[in-house]
């Protein structure tokens, strides 16, 4: 699994962590959707966007870039994609760019062209090795720090984060997902170890056999099944529209909320 994929999975599952990283309240995550956007006719997709779910022009669209390898073209590509996206979509929100580096040594500034832009308040660069106290006190920031932790010390940090999650997270499903995420990061960092060895290393054997964990796991499976059923229903909507069924009829037949069906119908391309 690539490092940027880990981060995008992290932000998808626990968006509050992103807002902790940029020194905003974790509660901000409740009014944002972490998504991607296709820039039509230009053959590229912006993979990391935090898009406001409320109509508030003071809330920015956050474009997130995770960069763990030196790239001389990063800022050329990043700002080109940003301004092409703004030109095409014209979102009713201001924009902010957040670039996440493991350390300053990875960054390639290209000061001749981007020095002034990088000084804007709209552009924030985060260096994970400089997180300081936040990495020790915040559970979310600690998990982000785990991604760049040295192989020798990563298991120790992972065990501390798991103990912290057990104490701080009340919801069983959230606790399960968080601990699974920590385990996934360690699997990624220590590919020579088997899953069983890592479970033993992190002290997860007994936890995974506990009744609370098993109940949370079963709840997660059931939720996944329900989400799969809803996705299948949504995929059926375009064909039902082609047959001339009304929005109300589709909602009733599929047992879906009317507003969900209305949103899906709006995305159905017109028949040519």
pLDDT in tens, the chain (272 residues): 467 778 888 888 889 999 999 989 999 999 999 988 777 655 567 878 999 999 999 999 999 999 999 999 999 999 998 998 899 889 999 999 999 999 999 999 999 999 999 999 999 999 998 887 766 678 888 888 888 888 889 999 999 999 998 888 888 888 888 888 888 888 888 888 887 888 888 887 654 554 544 554 455 545 555 555 667 777 778 766 765 667 777 776 677 888 788 877 776 655 54
Helices (H), 90-171: 111-118, 134-137, 139-148, 154-168
Q: Show which of 96, 111, 131 is a domain's final residue.
A: 131
Domain check: are 4 and 121 in the same one?
Answer: yes
Whether 214 is in a domain gets the answer no
Q: Is the pTM of this model over 0.85?
A: no
Distance CA 129, CA 192 (A): 25
- Enter the tokens of residue 3: 């490092």
Q: Is there a domain that residue 69 lies in?
A: yes
Same domain as 121, residue 15:
yes
Q: Which domain holds residue 18?
A: 1-131
| Tokens, residue 190 | 């220590």
Task: Work out how many domains the chain is built from and give that number.
Answer: 2
33 is a domain residue: yes
Q: 257: which DSSP letter?
A: -
Among candidate residues 131, 158, 186, the one where a domain is terminated:
131
> Last residue of a domain, which of 101, 131, 161?
131
């Amino acid at each position: 699994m690539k490092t940027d994929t880990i981060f995008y999975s992290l932000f998808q599952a626990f968006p509050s962590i992103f807002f902790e990283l940029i020194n905003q309240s974790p509660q901000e995550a409740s009014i944002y959707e972490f998504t991607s956007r296709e820039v039509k006719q230009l053959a590229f997709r912006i993979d990391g966007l935090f898009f406001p779910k409320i109509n508030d022009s003071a809330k920015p669209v956050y474009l997130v870039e995770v960069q763990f390898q030196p790239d001389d073209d990063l800022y050329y590509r990043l700002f080109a994609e940003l301004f092409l996206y703004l030109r095409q979509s014209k979102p009713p929100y201001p924009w902010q760019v957040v670039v996440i580096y493991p350390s300053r040594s990875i960054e390639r500034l290209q000061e001749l062209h981007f020095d002034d832009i990088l000084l804007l308040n709209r552009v924030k660069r985060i260096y994970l090795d400089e997180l300081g106290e936040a990495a020790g006190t915040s559970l979310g920031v600690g998990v982000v720090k785990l991604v760049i932790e040295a192989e020798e010390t990563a298991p120790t940090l992972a065990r501390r984060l798991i103990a912290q999650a057990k104490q701080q997270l009340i919801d069983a499903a959230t606790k399960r997902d968080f601990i699974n995420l920590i385990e996934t990061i360690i699997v990624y960092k220590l590919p020579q170890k088997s899953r069983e060895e890592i479970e033993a290393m992190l002290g997860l054997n007994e936890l995974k056999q506990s009744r609370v964990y098993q109940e949370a796991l079963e709840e997660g499976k059931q939720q996944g099944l329900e989400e799969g059923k809803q996705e299948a229903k949504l995929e059926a909507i375009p064909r039902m529209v082609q047959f001339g069924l009304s929005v109300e009829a589709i909602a009733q037949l599929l047992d879906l909320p009317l507003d969900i069906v209305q949103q899906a119908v709006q995305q159905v391309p017109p028949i040519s």
